[in-house]
Amino acid sequence: MAAILGNKIKMAIFGQSHAEAIGVVIYGIKAGEKIDTEKLQKFMERRAPGRDEFSTPRKEADEVIFVSGLIDGLTCGAPICAMIKNNNIKKNDYDDLKDIPRPGHSDFAAFMKFGDDFDSSGGGQFSGRMTAPMCIAGGIAKQLLETKGVEVSAAIDEIAGFQGDKMYDAMREAKKEEDSVGGIISCLIHGVKPGLGDAMFDGIEGSIARGIFGIPAVKGIEFGSGFSGSRLKGSENNDEFISDGDKIITKTNKHGGILGGISSGMPISFRVAVKPTPSIGKMQNSVNTKTKENVKMTVRGRHDPCIVPRAVPVVEAVAAFVIYDMMMSE
Amino acid sequence: MAAILGNKIKMAIFGQSHAEAIGVVIYGIKAGEKIDTEKLQKFMERRAPGRDEFSTPRKEADEVIFVSGLIDGLTCGAPICAMIKNNNIKKNDYDDLKDIPRPGHSDFAAFMKFGDDFDSSGGGQFSGRMTAPMCIAGGIAKQLLETKGVEVSAAIDEIAGFQGDKMYDAMREAKKEEDSVGGIISCLIHGVKPGLGDAMFDGIEGSIARGIFGIPAVKGIEFGSGFSGSRLKGSENNDEFISDGDKIITKTNKHGGILGGISSGMPISFRVAVKPTPSIGKMQNSVNTKTKENVKMTVRGRHDPCIVPRAVPVVEAVAAFVIYDMMMSE
Amino acid sequence: MAAILGNKIKMAIFGQSHAEAIGVVIYGIKAGEKIDTEKLQKFMERRAPGRDEFSTPRKEADEVIFVSGLIDGLTCGAPICAMIKNNNIKKNDYDDLKDIPRPGHSDFAAFMKFGDDFDSSGGGQFSGRMTAPMCIAGGIAKQLLETKGVEVSAAIDEIAGFQGDKMYDAMREAKKEEDSVGGIISCLIHGVKPGLGDAMFDGIEGSIARGIFGIPAVKGIEFGSGFSGSRLKGSENNDEFISDGDKIITKTNKHGGILGGISSGMPISFRVAVKPTPSIGKMQNSVNTKTKENVKMTVRGRHDPCIVPRAVPVVEAVAAFVIYDMMMSE
Amino acid sequence: MAAILGNKIKMAIFGQSHAEAIGVVIYGIKAGEKIDTEKLQKFMERRAPGRDEFSTPRKEADEVIFVSGLIDGLTCGAPICAMIKNNNIKKNDYDDLKDIPRPGHSDFAAFMKFGDDFDSSGGGQFSGRMTAPMCIAGGIAKQLLETKGVEVSAAIDEIAGFQGDKMYDAMREAKKEEDSVGGIISCLIHGVKPGLGDAMFDGIEGSIARGIFGIPAVKGIEFGSGFSGSRLKGSENNDEFISDGDKIITKTNKHGGILGGISSGMPISFRVAVKPTPSIGKMQNSVNTKTKENVKMTVRGRHDPCIVPRAVPVVEAVAAFVIYDMMMSE
């Protein structure tokens, strides 16, 4: 099920880019949990557009409306339904692109799957906007994890291959050139006790990966030393154990907090590759799917020259949701 | 469920390193499909130990015994149960390590999850040996995909950071030093028609990733241009569409055959980071989990200095299984 | 997941009796399916209160609002979210019953499960009102089945043990006495081709049963000759096969259209036992869950003396949904 | 998945009537649970053939062989695989029936689903023999429930509509006439604490029903007062609450221990309708599926004139498994 994630705790997303509303139903959270809706709203704003010079101008506040499951800030055991109204349902913006798939976008693949009845306007189900409901569910999971001493935090690691101030130069330059840049997000999860996860297909890596690849534009994930670890020797990549008071820890954390799919008690760490925004103002070659003619096209409108900053809270949200679900499924 | 993968077609693995047998039950394959058991046996041998100087000496033939579901080489609609007997059930080899977790191994995490009752001998459920049943299920899926024009092939891309002949030097050197090396496996899937997969959490990337992280020692995965693509500009990373007779294809394949989680019709490509074998003969620091004392230890016995070559067919198997399941679930 | 039903097609219900709204998200319906929303609204009205002298006076129209997934009456491939606003969110009606469970109701069991944070007002998730979203999802499935030649129809078979006009007398008498009556609903599904379903746990009987027991107040289900068939001899209960032109049919239909969990091509038939409405005006004994004191109580307000008539479309809806899901999962 | 039952704890059945072996893999049981294999073997014998004059002569001992997951009687955390060898793989017995479906059997429906490649010999996956693996998984669940104070016990309630000694007369007469009889099995589950289960589709009724309908020949199920309760008034069918020391109980148990899908703490009770064995020696009408000709046929061989006695432990097994899974999923 494309829009459902989780086992004991499930997020079931609904909506498409230009529907009346988008939202999520969250199943499995027990009665009596406190949700701080103001804090959630602030979390949502980290993802919202219009916050800086690199994102599309803000059009809507992404205000979360709770429809069910929450009474005076406490869960009541019923499914939690929360939604965000789409105030800006203009479908015409993209009409001239209806038969011309944008390079790097889902348009072509979605057309081949769904055919003409697919609501392609604004990207439909594939729109970056669908990450807002992920942030609702994940933002709630993040709050509930905090009460259990688990902290999830993501940050920009690279943009366009750069770290530090040069990242911002790269974004500015891309914007000026009507081009775009991608980047890498790192995520750290502190406070997960040893023993979470399982062998084979229920390991933490696979569970997080399935969630994270649900975020549009993600094309890679690595845990701990990841790809660079594959170039080390065993004696370099193995993390030796040492006693630390009552606990056993590792001196280093090349394993990213996960051994055999199971948490070791060290911080869980992973990195996510985000491709450059496919929407660019530069002229590109494409094909009219109806006439099969090769055409030139540009993607009009204002687009984020880089979505990496706005994807950071989404990575946090999805990681938090997966870990919370795994903890509740034990 | 740690040992179950798939939706419409499921593989349900059983066994542990030193059980009587290990095996798999495959659900959902319809009646009347032809399985070439000899071809499957040959596929199994690509994974089996003892094939070259870099793998542990062969002890068992990994002979696949079909228990149910197959009559005269044809599926009959009942679940297919296939197993491999463990001829070599010696548990004592590892007894002196029972309370001393091996660095880089699942021992410590598994102990924290399962406690003392866990069958840790030979790695239990976490043993590389559990990839044999994956190869049975995946080998069957591979055969069935071939009848539909889909070919799955994996290959060594890097070992210890090297390509070509230097890879073998690196393995030889690691062996001599009682150390180990890791590497990267690339996988290509040809023949998947456009339109397979779905948005968000049922995209091809997430589905393959969940399966591939089920293989022990995998720590990263990237699709298409992956991590390096995150350092390109949109204009460089977007694959432009062109007409190719009746079809629409892309000039390049930075997207790895997947857009918006859905196949584009171009070859699906991904790369998998495999960490260096954690079992090494070198002395390492660890801790006795009972006494909490820091100790020195070596992992005795003969170990593969590099498991990457034997992991290649496992990557093929898991990828084939996931794609076959996705195609049958449409 | 208590509020999720289905495999390839899923209904995910949200809301509770006194939430802002109740609704359902439907996953898996492919793009381009035509939904007649007026016809759906009419179907909803068969379940709505206030239609006759035996149901609570109408307070709300149960108007279905489509939030996503439907554009100009056609599905677009995105999840379909539909909701019904609760105009009448009065929680106080039941406040004096907060600590006194109503006999025959879910109150006590729900309190033992959820504790005090459970939103018990109006029955919360256990309210008969939650059958409205089932009717949305099932009403859509029913329409889609009709395009495939499958008709689902349920009817009252018995009320208070009576058939025919005496049923209405029994309801009137129960109403007068501030008591209630139950009954039996029969359901027939015409047009399912032979070969739907599967052995063991995916048989049609088990799949329908799981759905139907999701309807509050259902306490039994039997297929074909059911309980009475258990009193026949094999020679009486077996349905002999005969040729009917191209097809093979059975002379009788004691098997209710299902053999070995699989459809035979004969009409699928089953009967559902609905208990008498637990809400009655008569004085009953109960216990204060806080003080543990035995108390006398009456359930105030106006209640349906019999919910069987309103449950008929719900049985149709759930049966249609299960069969549609099974057909789409093939 | 036809042969998989359960959420946190899963049984995955394999085999068909005339395969090398039949068996089950059980997932999710944690390490360190004690399984009494002798006790399990005794439980299996309650289901085995040849125990009395009403069952087919014993041909095989149904000896359970543990392949994995169990070490010295303790679970080790790996999946438990257990199998029973089929010593008696004679496929020819039924060959003359290959194209002639037996009335009341799954043959016709299975042929319509699977076609000619289906292994119909001995009933294939639909054989009553497949209840043996259910008894392995359920017998283990029953043992584990006992350690938690939960007792599951089923008994014959009716045979051929009779209770007491007349049941045996009816079976004897059916045997003499080469006919068969059915019956009703009642099941009681003591010791389930209040609060197990959930609203709507995860209620205890629906969960047990899905499992029980997986047993061949079951055509109906009712909980508590069930069908007869539908003929009572609310004031008669409601169970009043009373204080009982610290606890709150009900005076009567018409609700069968389940309110709103959730356990009330009273014994869970249900009744199961089993149809008369479809295999009878009497001549019956059928149709040749290839030629479409009407034919007369008799089912040769020795058959149980009544399978109800042997189905009793199967009902216990499946009910125990479902309740154990629900308790472990909390």
Strands A284-287 and A218-223, by their bridges, are unpaired
- The β-bridge partners of D223 are D270
Residues of C with CB under 8 A from a CB of A: 1-4, 10, 12-16, 19-23, 25, 27-28, 30-32, 66-69, 71, 74-81, 83, 113-119, 124-125
Distance of residue D133 Cα from the nearest chain C Cα, in angstroms: 12
The sheet with strand C4-5 has its strands ordered as C4-5, C10-14, C21-27, C80-85, C65-68
* Interchain contact, C226 vs D292, CB within 8 Å: no
Contacts of D71 in chain B (CB under 8 A): 119
Of the partner residues D2, D239, D264, the one whose CB lies closest to the CB of residue C202: D2
CA distance C164 to C181: 15
Provide the b/e sequence for B55-76 (b: ≥16 CB within 10 Å). bbeeeeebebebbbbbbeeebb
User: One-letter amino acid identity for A277?
Assistant: T
Sort residue C166 into left (φ over 0), alpha (ψ -120 to 50) or beta: alpha
Helix (H, G, I), strand (E, B) or coil at C128: helix
| Contact call for C230 and D276, based on CB within 8 A | yes
Cβ neighbours of residue B72 closer than 8 Å, sequence gap 6 or more: none
What count of other Cβ atoms lies within 10 Å of the Cβ of residue A111? 20
Burial label, A208 (beta-carbon count in 10 A; 0-12, 13-18, 19+): buried
Record: contact D230-C255, CB cut-off 8 A:
no
- Average pLDDT on D170-179 reads 96
Residues from chain D that touch C229, judged by Cβ atoms under 8 A, are 182, 219, 273, 275-276
Instruction: Count each helix (H run) and each strand (E run) in chain A, helices first.
Output: 8, 17
**Weakly modelled stretches of chain C, pLDDT under 50:** none
Q: Could you tell me if D316 and D138 are in contact, meaning their C-beta atoms sit under 8 angstroms apart?
A: yes
Q: Which residues of A touch C114 (CB under 8 A)?
A: 30-32, 76-77
* C21/A67 touch (CB, cutoff 8 Å), yes or no: yes
Neighbouring-strand partners of residue C25: C12, C81
Chain C CB contacts of D279 under 8 Å are 234
Domains detected in chain B: 90-329 (3.60.150.10)
Range of weakest confidence among D48-62, D96-110, D156-170: D48-62
Predicted local distance difference test score (pLDDT) of residue D61: 72
Contacts of B75 (CB under 8 A, 6+ apart): B29, B30, B31, B32, B33, B35, B69, D117
| Residue B118, pLDDT above cutoff 90 | no
Other beta carbons within 10 Å of A50:
12
The answer to whether residues B191 and B257 touch, using CB atoms and an 8 Å cutoff, is no
Q: How far apart are CA B170 and CA B162, in angstroms?
A: 8
What's residue B306's pLDDT?
95
Q: Residue A188: beta bridge partners?
A: A153, A269
For residues D90-126, b (16+ Cβ closer than 10 Å) or e, as one string? Answer: eeeebeebebbbbbbbbbbbbbbbbeebbbbbbbbbb
Q: Number of residue pairs across C and D with CB atoms under 8 Å? A: 384
**CA nearest to B254, candidates A295, D218, A267, A219:** A219
The answer to whether residues C172 and C302 touch, using CB atoms and an 8 Å cutoff, is no
Tokens linked to C94: 């039941």
Q: Looking at residue B189, what is its pLDDT?
A: 98
Higher pLDDT, D183 or C246: D183
List the one residue out of A30, A1, A29 whose CA is nearest residue A14.
A1
Sequence-separated (6 or more) residues with CB below 8 Å from residue A178: A280, A281, A282
Task: Report which residue type is found at C126.
Answer: F
d(CA B160, CA B166): 9
- Average pLDDT score over residue span B243-270: 97
Please name the member of A15, A31, A114 whose beta carbon is closest to the beta carbon of C77. A114
Tokens of A189: 């999860």
The rounded distance, in Å, linking the Cα atoms of D41 and A199 is 30
**What ipTM was reported for this prediction?**
0.96
Answer yes or no: do C235 and D273 touch at CB < 8 A. no
**CA separation for the pair C302, C56 (Å, rounded):** 6
Closest listed residue to residue C207, CA positions, set C217, C196, C195, C216: C196
In chain B, residues with a C-beta closer than 8 Å to the C-beta of A3 are 199-201
Task: Identify the burial level of A38 via C-beta atoms within 10 angstroms of its C-beta, where 0-12 means exposed, 13-18 middle and 19 or more buried.
Answer: exposed
Residues in D touching B125 (Cβ below 8 Å): 77-79
A208 in Cβ contact with A226 (< 8 Å):
no
Interchain CB distance below 8 Å, A81 and C21: yes
Count of other CB atoms within 10 angstroms of residue C63: 12
Q: Do A106 and B232 touch (CB under 8 A)?
A: no
Going residue by residue through chain A (330 aa), what tens digit of pLDDT does each one get?
689 999 999 999 999 888 899 999 999 999 999 999 999 999 999 998 777 777 766 565 789 999 999 999 999 989 999 999 987 665 555 566 789 999 999 999 999 998 887 776 667 788 899 999 999 999 999 999 999 999 999 999 999 999 999 999 999 999 999 999 999 999 999 999 999 999 999 999 999 999 999 999 999 999 999 999 999 999 999 999 999 999 999 999 999 999 999 999 999 999 999 999 999 999 999 999 999 999 999 987 777 899 999 999 999 999 999 999 999 998
Upper half-sphere CA count for residue C260 (Cβ side, 13 Å): 31
Interchain proximity B31–D117, CB inside 8 Å:
yes
Q: Do A226 and B203 touch (CB under 8 A)?
A: no
Which residue carries 């709507």 as its tokens?
D200
Residue C114 tokens read as 């959820």
Tell me how close the Cα of C81 comes to any Cα of chain D, in angstroms.
Answer: 19
Q: How confident is the model at residue D81 (pLDDT cuts 50, 70, 90)?
A: very high
pLDDT at position B315 is 98
Alpha carbon distance D24, D188 (integer Å): 25
Q: Hey, which chains touch B, using 3+ CB pairs under 8 Å?
A: A, D
With contacts defined as CB-CB under 8 Å, which chain D residues touch C286? 240-241
Name the token pair of D128.
């009553």
Choose among A199, A210, A208: nearest CA to A260: A199
pTM for the structure as a whole: 0.96
A277 half-sphere exposure, CB direction, 13 A CA radius = 27
Pairwise CA distance, residues A167 & D17, whole Å: 66
Measure the CA–CA gap between C109 and D260, rounded to whole angstroms.
7
Q: What is the pLDDT of residue A66?
A: 97
Amino acid present at B11: M
Q: Count of CB contacts below 8 A, B vs D? A: 151
Residues contacting B216, CB < 8 A, separation 6+: A260, B106, B126, B127, B128, B130, B131
For residue C90 the two structure tokens come to 């009065």
How big is chain A by its Cα radius of gyration, in Å?
21
Task: Please count the residue pairs, one from chain A and one from chain B, whose beta carbons lie less than 8 angstroms apart.
Answer: 385
| Tokens (6 digits) for A310 | 């706005």
Using CB atoms, pick whichever of A21, A81, A117 lies closest to residue C74: A117
CA C284 to chain centre: 27
Radius of gyration of chain D (CA): 21
Phi-psi region of C149 (alpha: psi -120 to 50; beta: other; left: phi over 0): left
Tokens of D320: 């125990």
- The DSSP code for D137 is H
- pLDDT of residue B58 exceeding 80, the answer is no
> CA nearest D258 in C: which residue?
C109
Burial class for D295, CB neighbours closer than 10 Å (0-12, 13-18, 19+): middle
For residue B275, the chain A residue with the least C-alpha distance is: A230
Q: Judge: B81–D116 Cβ closer than 8 Å, yes or no.
A: no
Contact C247, C193 (CB under 8 A): no
The subunits that touch chain C, with at least 3 C-beta pairs less than 8 Å apart, are A, D
> How are beta strands C284-287 and C294-297 bridged, if at all?
antiparallel
Which residues, 6 or more positions from C50, have their beta carbon under 8 angstroms from its beta carbon?
C56, C57, C58, C59
Q: What b-and-e string marks burial along B310-329, b requiring 16 or more CB atoms within 10 Å of the CB?
A: bbbbbbbbbbbbbbbbbbbb
CA–CA distance, D187 with D189 (Å, rounded to integer):
7
Q: Which of the residues A230, A263, A321, A322 would you substitute to probe the B interface, choosing the one with the greatest number of B C-beta atoms within 10 Å?
A: A230
Over 60: is that where the pLDDT of D273 sits?
yes
**pLDDT confidence of residue D117:** 74
The reported pLDDT for the residue numbered C120 is: 67
Q: What is the distance in angstroms between the Cα of A159 and the nearest Cα belonging to chain B? A: 7
- Confidence band of B43 (pLDDT split at 50, 70, 90): very high
Are the Cβ atoms of D117 and B77 closer than 8 angstroms? yes
